[in-house]
């Protein structure tokens, strides 16, 4: 008897609860359909939203968590079909809202709801509904265990929003999501707008606001932010590469105030005594700056004659290497004649007196094009005398050419082609200081000035087998130089050897009154450093020949690891560089000039992505950068360390922290798949010597000590047997490593 009563009661309860069971099954099937559609790419996900709908009449309602999906392809209405999952007190239910046909009632929608089920308006029915609701809560967790024969078939039930139970906590949701009764088959305007804005906020990782807050954000942005943005852009934005209106926010890499104390003094350059002029021009072309300076000082050669030798080599090999943008021949001979005249009057300006050189073509020189390597700017003439050019001119140096930069200081592709490596013309130089590296390596110039934001000195120097210095940030002024990032950009020399790098650094360093980041750093004299008092660490990837040579010269060498916990170093650099550059090239991008960029997989992609980095996230990246600097400082317990110069993580870390590094050639290896007839082409091997900020003299002294015992830096690439008519493969036969950010 008891069993019969229980059975009757159970089936009666089941009958009354069948609508809820339908909901449970429909929910499960709907969610499965949605999951399949999302996976198949037919639906897009709007996001998650925790909200209480802001309705004071329902302040006691629990928070509602929604996860909505919608069709990606619908020309008339992007929210044609929407499935949202609601959570009430831990119980998940679903609701499907479909756009009705024009003939359907404007306020009618299709719903699957547990608590918002239409029970009709009769009091008795409402009482029963409330009772069943309580029973439903008690059984909600067991629905999944019910036998399949008790689960009702899916049934779509149309209900009018006005008949939803007044006590339903999601009534406000129904009001927000109701269809526009005046427009019939159109999506609700306010929800469409909020959803679209929220979808955009996902790109900023800021899609956590509810609809009311999203619309508030949109209103504030339109009425407050955008007018300010446009006013500021009108004041300072142009497509000038950051030449004017620099940011007053200054990055200083110094680890202590003691580093900047003291008066900066010039280096005590050694003289290359006993040097005699070689018979042939080829040997002259590969002499060091100090050696050439001695020839000029002793009047064994004139600056004008030396200028002619290097201009001839530039014109001979440029068709092979594609490394020169502009020959400054008239200016060069004018400056060379002036240098010879001064010397005849007994005036010698120093080791650079009368020495030819080249500038990366992001450095402006009046009356000559400064193209930035870009089709957009290939006819640009800037009547600005760059600070570094002024310094070299005052030292008596002779500018013979503007050298290739990758387009807008990225890699080695420019509007005139792609620069090649003199050691193996079937591969490219990398960049973006492509021309300075290739021309110095090929003996087309004695030295050149390049720049680095993230690898633009270290990578091409390593590929082309030359010695190059990336100095401490702020040691060389940047007025008149195209800017990528004001807290990362640095200018540095490409030379035959480390001693030449020291000579060039001494000539170009100092405070630039128009560059707020520049400082007159009191470097020690690299020519007088006692290296036997130094402790030098070596990383796992260090070239051990360098370690052994320095050890043989009395340097204490120890294994070393530079530990830090910041795991987003590469991302910090990307945020910093990309956002800074976009600020400089905002109008360039807005005017569609990025469509003309030479390599569409480079800057255009980077800068479009930078458009959705928020100011908050940019500043968070700078705070993380500060943490990195502190950790590197605390763990830098040696005077310098030796390691691979092209490790990407290390390139990013070094530039963010402001570490100086000198790249030195350490040998050669065979190229992959050499021709059966043999070849002189080689792959260069190199290493980097790193020092703390403001200690460039330590790295230079160690590099000079190593090069005094080796001759890798004196080797000449096989470019000497190539002429303008040599055939170069359209595509390199040697695989080129995937492109990285080389600025």
Q: Residue 95: what are its φ and ψ, rounded to 5°?
A: -140, 130
Task: Write down the pLDDT at residue 238.
Answer: 77
Q: Calculate Rg over the CA atoms of the chain.
A: 35
Looking at residue 636, what is its pLDDT? 98
| Residue 533 tokens, joined | 């008092």
Report pLDDT for 14: 54
Q: How many CB atoms are closer than 10 A to CB 353?
A: 21
Residue 491 Ramachandran class (φ > 0 left, ψ -120 to 50 alpha, else beta):
beta
Would you say 339 and 562 are in contact if contact means Cβ atoms under 8 Å apart?
A: no
- pLDDT at 241 (0 to 100): 75
Distance, CA of 334 to CA of 356 (rounded, Å): 12
In terms of DSSP bridges, do strands 640-643 and 43-51 run parallel, antiparallel, or are they unpaired?
unpaired
The ranges of the chain with pLDDT < 70 are 1-191, 258-262, 720-743
425 by Cβ neighbours in 10 Å (0-12 / 13-18 / 19+) ranks as buried
Q: How far is it, in rounded angstroms, from Cα 615 to Cα 21? A: 50
Annotated active-site residue in 195, 433, 456, 485: 456
CA distance 65 to 32: 19
The SS3 assignment for 715 reads coil
pLDDT value, residue 489: 98
DSSP of 359-426:
EETTB--TTSB--TT-GGGTT-B-----HHHHHHHHTT-EEEEEE---TTS-SSEETTEE-EETTEEE
Question: What SS3 class is residue 496?
Answer: coil
Fill in the DSSP letter of residue 433.
S
Task: Look at the chain and count its residues.
Answer: 743
pLDDT at 667: 97
Interatomic CA distance for residues 4 and 20, integer angstroms: 24
Place of tokens 């955009």: 200
Catalytic residue among 374, 432, 483, 517: 432
From the candidates 161, 360, 393, 402, which is the catalytic residue? 360
Would residue 456 show up in a list of annotated catalytic residues for this protein?
yes
Identify the sign of the CA torsion 608, 614, 615, 618: negative
- Whole-model pTM? 0.74
The answer to whether 693 and 259 are in contact (CB under 8 A) is yes
CA-CA-CA-CA torsion sign (721, 722, 726, 728): positive
Closest CA relative to residue 662, chosen from 494, 434, 515, 508: 494
In degrees and rounded to multiples of 5, residue 660 shows phi and psi of -80, 150
Establish whether 378 is a catalytic residue: no
E-assigned strand segments in 202-339:
324-327
Residue 552: CB partners within 8 Å, gap ≥ 6?
709
What is the residue-wise DSSP string for 439-458? Answer: HHHTTSSS-EEEEESSSTTH
Pairing of strands 661-670, 467-470: antiparallel
DSSP 290: H
Both tokens of 346, joined, read 């007994």
Residue that has been written with the tokens 């009108």 in this structure: 234
Q: What's the pLDDT at 727?
A: 55
* Calpha distance 520→517 (Å, rounded): 10
Q: Please, what are the domains in the chain?
A: 2-187 (no CATH), 257-670+679-721 (3.90.1300.10)
The 8-class DSSP code of residue 476 comes to B
Q: Which two tokens stand for residue 285?
A: 């072309």
* φ/ψ (deg, to 5) at 741: -80, 100
Find all residues with CB under 8 Å of 721, minimum gap 6, and list them: none
Kind plus residue range of the DSSP H or E element containing 668: strand 661-670
Q: What angle do CA 573, 577, 582 make, to 5 degrees?
A: 150
Q: Is 714 a catalytic residue?
A: no
- C-alpha closest to that of 391 among 515, 268, 284: 515
Tokens of 606: 């980077």
């Amino acid at each position: 008897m008891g069993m019969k009563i229980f059975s009757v009661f159970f089936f009666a309860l089941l009958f009354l609860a069948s609508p809820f069971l339908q909901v449970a099954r429909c929910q499960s099937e709907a969610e499965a359909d949605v999951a399949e559609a999302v996976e198949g790419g037919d639906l897009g996900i709007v996001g998650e939203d925790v909200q209480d709908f802001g309705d004071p009449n329902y302040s006691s309602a629990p928070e509602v968590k929604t996860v909505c999906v919608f069709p990606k392809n619908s020309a008339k209405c992007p929210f044609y079909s929407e499935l949202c999952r609601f959570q009430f007190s831990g119980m998940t239910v679903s609701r499907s809202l479909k756009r009705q046909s024009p003939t359907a009632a404007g306020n009618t929608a299709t719903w699957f709801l547990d608590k918002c089920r239409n029970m009709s308006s009769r009091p008795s029915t409402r009482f029963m509904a409330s009772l069943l609701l309580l029973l439903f809560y008690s059984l909600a967790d067991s629905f999944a265990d019910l036998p399949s024969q008790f689960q009702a078939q899916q049934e779509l039930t149309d209900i009018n929003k006005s008949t939803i139970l007044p006590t339903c906590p999601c009534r406000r949701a129904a009001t927000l999501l109701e269809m526009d009764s005046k427009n019939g088959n159109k999506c609700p305007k306010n929800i469409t707008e909020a959803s679209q804005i929220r979808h955009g906020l996902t790109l900023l990782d800021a899609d956590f606001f509810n609809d009311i807050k999203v619309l508030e954000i949109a209103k504030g942005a339109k009425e407050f932010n955008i007018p300010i943005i446009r006013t500021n852009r009108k004041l300072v934005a142009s497509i000038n590469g950051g030449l004017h209106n620099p940011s007053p926010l200054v990055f200083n890499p110094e680890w202590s105030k003691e580093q900047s104390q003291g008066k900066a003094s010039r280096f005590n350059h050694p003289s290359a005594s006993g040097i005699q002029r070689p018979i042939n021009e080829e040997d002259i072309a590969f002499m060091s700056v100090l050696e050439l300076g001695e020839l000029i000082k002793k009047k064994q050669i004139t600056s004008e004659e030396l200028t002619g030798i290097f201009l001839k080599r530039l014109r001979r090999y440029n068709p092979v290497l594609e490394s020169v943008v502009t020959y400054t021949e008239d200016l060069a001979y004018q400056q060379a004649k002036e240098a010879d005249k001064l010397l005849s009057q007994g005036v010698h300006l120093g080791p650079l007196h009368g020495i030819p050189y080249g500038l990366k073509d992001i450095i402006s020189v009046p009356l000559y094009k400064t193209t930035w390597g870009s089709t957009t700017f290939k006819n640009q003439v800037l009547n600005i005398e760059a600070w570094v050019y002024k310094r070299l001119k005052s030292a008596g140096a002779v500018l013979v050419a503007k050298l290739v930069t990758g387009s807008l200081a990225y890699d080695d592709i420019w509007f005139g082609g792609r620069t090649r490596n003199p050691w193996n013309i079937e591969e490219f130089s990398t960049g973006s200081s492509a021309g300075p590296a290739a021309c110095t390596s090929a003996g087309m110039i004695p030295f050149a000035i390049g720049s680095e934001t993230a690898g633009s000195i270290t990578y091409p120097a390593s590929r082309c087998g030359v010695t190059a210095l990336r100095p401490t940030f702020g040691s060389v002024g940047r007025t008149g130089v195209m800017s990528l990032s004001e807290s990362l950009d640095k200018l540095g020399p490409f030379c035959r050897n480390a001693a030449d790098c020291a000579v060039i650094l001494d000539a170009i360093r100092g405070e630039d009154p128009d560059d707020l980041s520049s400082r007159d750093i009191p470097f020690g004299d690299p020519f007088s450093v006692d290296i036997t008092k130094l402790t030098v660490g070596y990383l796992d990837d260090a070239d051990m020949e360098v370690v052994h040579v320095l050890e043989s010269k009395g340097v204490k060498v120890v294994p070393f690891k530079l530990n830090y916990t910041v795991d987003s170093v590469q991302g910090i650099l990307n945020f910093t560089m990309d956002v800074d550059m976009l600020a400089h090239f905002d109008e360039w991008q807005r005017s569609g000039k990025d469509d003309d960029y030479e390599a569409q997989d480079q800057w255009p992609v980077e800068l479009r992505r930078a458009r959705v980095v928020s100011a908050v996230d940019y500043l968070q990246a700078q705070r993380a950068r500060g943490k990195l600097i502190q950790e590197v400082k605390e763990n830098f317990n040696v005077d310098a360390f030796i390691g691979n110069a092209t490790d990407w993580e290390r390139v990013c870390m070094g530039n963010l922290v402001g570490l100086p590094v000198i790249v030195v050639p350490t040998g050669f290896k065979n190229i992959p798949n050499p021709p059966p007839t043999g070849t002189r082409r080689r792959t260069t091997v190199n290493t980097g010597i790193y020092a703390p900020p403001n200690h460039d003299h330590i790295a230079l002294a160690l590099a000079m000590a190593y090069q005094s015992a080796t001759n890798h830096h004196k080797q000449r690439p096989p470019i000497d047997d190539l002429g303008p008519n040599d055939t170069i493969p359209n595509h390199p036969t040697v695989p080129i490593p995937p492109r990285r950010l080389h600025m």
